[in-house]
Structure 1
Amino acid sequence: MFSTSPSTTNLLLAGAGAAVGFAAAALLLDRLRSRERCGSVPPFPSLKKGTVYLVGAGPAGPELMTLWAYGCVRQADVLVVDDLVDSRIGELRRPECEVMGVPKRGGKADSTPQAEIDQILVREAKKGKSVVRLKGGDPLVFGRVWSEVKSLREAKVPFVLVPGVSSALSAPAAATIPLTEKELSASMLLLSGHSADAIDYECAARADTVVLLMAAKSFPSIAARLEAAGASPDTPVAAIKSAYLPEEQRVLRSTLGSWTATVEAAGLGGRLLSPCVIVVGKVAAFAEDTMQKQT
């Protein structure tokens, strides 16, 4: 649990606007299923056998999937699923669809090697199946999709890239943080916390808004290096954890200079704050005490 200090906020129930939005999305999903039961032509293309679909599942449940992604899951012969994909999305599959879990979380002993995932995709497609590789967020945003693309090309297996909603955009929205805002932020820099040593800190320190994925563990070091590169210690920071999972939602508000103390006061550190999206810049000060929740 978070403390109730000014820099740390427990998240409360969302406002009516969020509830209406998710209710509308749920209604749309119900209508799609009704069309399928009635034999109506679905609003997405049919999957081809022997083809791999590299699909972005979005940052949460079915409500934040694209229609294209929904269609892929509903038609797949095989789902090859990342650890971060919401379990409710897997429940959309047909009863005869085979599910292969390939957890891949940085540093975890039970993570599936990327080479093994590449081999699974090639093997299942060559069996003549329609294979959906389901990744959280957008597969082209820190999704390690290029290894899979190269393997499929080398094996002459056809593939299709299906974009998704990235947590880099949706998590700040859940906390009411605009990534760009007139007179405050005209640019945004997207970074990976797994590549902290590769960051151009002088460039990042000058950016209006910095968004970091997979940085829960490395951010204390990143914050110190941003300061050393010229960023003000008073620069607002907001970390949004599990943005659209009602039981796990959290937001942690601080500044670059006080980040470490804030995390310690909240009893959080490393993996306890993961998975999260971290926003650095003036717009991070807009983080709300409440977040949008699925209802």
Structure 2
Amino acid sequence: MTIYEPTQEALRGELLQRLAKLSAPSSAKGSVPHGVDSGVNVFGYCVNARERFARSRLPHPAVVVVLSGTKEVWRGDVAQRFPRGVPFAIPAGLEIDLVNIPDPQSGRYESICITVDAPLRQSLRASLNGLPDGPSIPGSFGIALSADLVEAYGHAASALAAPEAATAEAVARHRIVEILLLLSGTHVGRMFVAVDRAEQLEAIVYADPSYAWRVEEVAGMLGMGASTLRRHLKQAGTSFRQVCLSARMATAGSLLSAPGYSVTQAAQAAGYASRSHFARQVRAAHGVAPGRLRSVA
């Protein structure tokens, strides 16, 4: 029996259909609240002209779906571009530039955003019995759609679009938590359960493990000085170097265990220009040489 597996394009189309009920009136501009509950903030954002928010830093992680137009997320001179129907996540504390580009035909940009505060992230972590696995696609905030994720979005949109029901807000929160639990199994899931400073640092490094992160830079992103961040990390029994190394080795192990990545590509993705240095670190972290880890996979 052949089981039909919808393509990402088909899933994006279905997701946009499910979220259409949350589209704001054409006259709406700026932030449009769709529901606020303990730990969860859901809102739409609409604009009719291209705009750029420089050096933005989110206090809580967010997952976004563009309904019309395109979103660009810039860190330095590197951009990730997200068209309509492609979910993506942004970690808390990461300093980025955001560009909203209206659709050339309608002249409108619109998106739906979910943000998650620290207590809810702790609750999600407890549900998962710890941290999710490391990333499978480093450096990307994009999220691959599944039928279950589209269904969860559809349920949440239906609840948020029916505010007259007495239980709508509680049901909507339940449906949104369902979305977050499904996302926890993706490569961006770690940013949604990062609570303490060590985990927030880890989520930032996971977002771009090839980048040469500096403690002063990350501390600034998290709104503190370098010495304060070092103190938090020491209290957590780790250090800046150890967290960065752990994230990079998890990235390396994930890529070397997956088809389609060479040792050189894995080294570059994990931030290593020297293949011999990369090999030493992989052997120390995983117990085997990179080529051996790849052949075992």
Q: TM-score of the superposition, structure 2-length normalised?
A: 0.26
Name the one with the larger helix percent.
Answer: 2
Does 1 or 2 have the higher relative contact order (CA < 8 Å, sep 6+)? 1
Q: TM-score, normalised by structure 1?
A: 0.27
